[in-house]
Every structure is written in C-alpha cells, then in structure tokens.
Structure 1
Amino acid sequence: MSDNNDIDRRIGARVRIERESRGWSLTELAEKASVSRAMIHKVERGDSSPTANLLGKLSGAFGLSMSTLMARAEAPEGRLIRRGDQPLWTDPDTGYLRRQVSPHSDLPMEIVEVTLPAGRAVPMPASAYAFLRQLIWVLDGDLTFIEGETHHEMHQGDCLELGPPSDCVFRNDSDRPCTYAVTLLKLR
C-alpha cells in the first residue's frame, strides 16, 4: 500500500492525463469544473492533496465517476484485489477514508468503502452522479445522506438507492465513525 503523497502524485498525473487526452487547457478544465486554475495546477503537480469535493467536480467535468477517476489513478490490475492491496485515500479536509474495494476491470460496476469520521460532512456536486446509478449501504454507524432537499437518516444495515442526480452531502452527525459501502453502476 502506498502513502498519501504517492497517491496524491498519481491522482495528479491522472487528472493531467484526463485533461490532456481531451485537449483541454487548465483554464478550460477550471471552467468546466467550477474550480480555480491554480488549484488544478497544484493537484496536477502533486503539490496539493485534492479534497473529495474537488475530485467530484473534476470527475464530473471529465464525464467520469469519482470512483473511476480514482481507480484509474490507483487500482492495480487483476481480478482479485486483497484487502491489504486495496488503495486507500484520505480527504485532507474531513479525514474521510476511501478504500477502492473492487479490482480495476471493464465491468460497469465498482464498490467503494468509505469511513466518515464523527461530526464530518462531505458535499458532492450533482455532476459527479450524472452518469451513474448508486447504492449506499451503511455497514457501521449512522449516516445522514442529503440528496437535494431530501434527508435520509440511515443506520447500520440500511441501503439506499440514489435518485436522479442532485447536489448531495454525506454527513455523520454522530460521535463515532460511520462506515458505508457505495456500489456504482456506470451507465455509459
């Protein structure tokens, strides 16, 4: 397993590859993702650890899920990926820990495990969900999932199918971490 600095460099390199493969300048990507050009430049150089929200905006601009963008940056090839080899990434703003559970493959499905620390929230733009169907399954703890104007109070064992794309917030209002699995089905 790699340290966060190595993962940040690989994410930055992947963002640059995705941008350049589309023939976009930094300015064009910044406009499409509604983030600053300077921030994208720092991420691409590996000088800044991107937040989950920033990755959601960038992946949405590329027409990818955040999970696909991350998998392209970090997941090893092969049909079996053992827990010790599953890439981990930590959001520098919230301490949100993301584990890529599913192996890198051409299947239109991915599984991600997230641990959201107590008292933390992670907003995600609707653009990150425009081309996916998702299920959220709470494995441990309590999660408030805000989908547009709808609040879903979820507890251990609860599973939610997300509706049409809208701005969302994953929120842990409890005093202990919440762990949940996200299953993503790619529509294109």
Structure 2
Amino acid sequence: MNEYEGGDFDVRLGARILREREARGWSLTELAERSQVSRAQINKVERGASSPTAAVLGKLSAAFGLTISTLLGGVEGEEAVRLTRFAEHPQWMDPATGYVRRQIAPHAGSSLTFEITHVELPAGESTSYPASAFAFLQQLVFVLDGQLAFTEGDTVHRLGAGDSLELGSSADCTFANASGVTCTYLVVVARK
C-alpha cells in the first residue's frame, strides 16, 4: 500500500515542496508571506522533520497554485495505473486531527482533468482552509456516510449521507464533524 504518511514520505514531501519553491525562484521568506505559514514551519517541512497538517498543506498548495492532491501526488513516482483497489490508493493522515485523505483520481500518468479525494474526518474534528486554496478551483463535496458541517465564509451547510454541495465563490472554509462517528465524504475538484 502506498501511504502518504511516515518518515520517508515526510522527507519526500519536504523535497517536493522545496522543488516547487525553488522552481519559482522564491526564498523561504517569500513562500512564508505567500502562504501565511511561518518560515520555521516551512523549513521543518522541507527538511522532512515535521509532517504538515491539512491546513498547512492547503496554504502551501494555494501559494503554489496547486491542489493538495497535486502537491501530494507529485511525491509518488508511480507508473501509469488504470485499476486501483481501495487499499492501494495513496493516503495521507493529518497529524493534528487524524483526518485521512485517499487520492482516488487521477493517478500518475493519467490524463484525467479532475480529481477525486476520499476523506474520513474523525468524530469531533475539523479542518480549515483559506479562500486562496480554492481560488482557482471548482469543487463538489458528496457525503457518503455521517454528518458534515461545511462552513463557507459565514454560511454553514449541514450535509448528511447522500447530500452534495457545489462550492460557491472562494471563501475561507471549514469541514467539521460534530457527530460521534466518522464522516466519510468525497471531494471532486476541477480547475476553473
């Protein structure tokens, strides 16, 4: 199983973030300003000394103009794949919340122009992203199981199993699970 977690992955993810920063000719200070993540935190992540939270990944990917999935996907050096079993999908766990995201599509070598991410948000947990993480994307959230409170700016949408929400204009967002059980949902992303 490819997993987006653990020491070796953290080192590869840090190297990926460093490559993205250097490819743009940005200093550590410039990335910190663009992402609103501290220089110290970025430095730890780039060295593989710290696993970033989902919120930090969201801020860094937004600064680069990439989706989180693209940023994480650039770490794996896989060959093109057409069939992937659930247990084989690359996954990453947020060290702060236990939130688990599995990259369903696309895979390395794929020509798909959209992304699908499977998320498991533990009971009582939440994760927030700045508006900049969504500025260049169209997204749809589809709840598979459980209850999700999705806050988009000042508006709270309460979603249950089978409910979907097409995200509106860019706003700070929070995915929250105030229930006593894990909420499982899909996020479908396309570039604008």
**Structure 2 length-normalised TM:** 0.93
Out of 21, 24, 33, the position equivalent to 2:23 is 21
Structure 2: tracts of 5 or more residues without a match: none
In the TM superposition, residue 82 of structure 1 has moved relative to its aligned partner by 2.9
State how 1:13-162 maps to structure 2 within 5 Å.
13-74=15-76, 76-80=78-82, 81-102=84-105, 103-104=107-108, 105-162=110-167
Equivalence for 1:171: 176
Residue 11 of structure 1 corresponds to 13
Q: What is the one-letter code of the residue matched to 1:173?
A: A
Q: CA deviation at 1:75?
A: 6.9
* Structure 1 contact 114–180 (Cα < 8 Å) conserved: yes
Q: Secondary structure at the match of 2:79?
A: coil
Structure 1 runs of 4+ off > 3 angstroms? none
1:133 is displaced (CA, Å) by 0.3
How many residues align? The count is 187
SS, match of residue 170 in structure 1: strand
- The alignment-based identity, stated in percent, is 55
Kindly tell me: are residues 134 and 75 of structure 1, through their superposed partners in 2, closer, same or farther at Cα, counting changes over 3 Å?
farther
Q: Provide Cα deviations, 1:26-57, integer angstroms capped at 9, x if missing partner.
A: 11101111111111010011100100000000
3-state DSSP class of the match of 1:138?
Answer: strand
Are the counterparts in 2 of residues 33 and 57 from structure 1 also a CA contact under 8 Å? yes
Report the CA distance shift for 1:111/1:119 in structure 2 as closer, same or farther (over 3 A): same
Tell me the C-alpha RMSD between the 2 structures. 1.3
Retained in 2: the 8 A contact 1:146–1:152?
Answer: yes
Give the structure-1-normalised TM-score.
Answer: 0.95
What is the alpha-carbon distance in structure 2 between the residues aligned to residue 119 and residue 151 of structure 1? 16
5+ residue gaps, structure 1: none
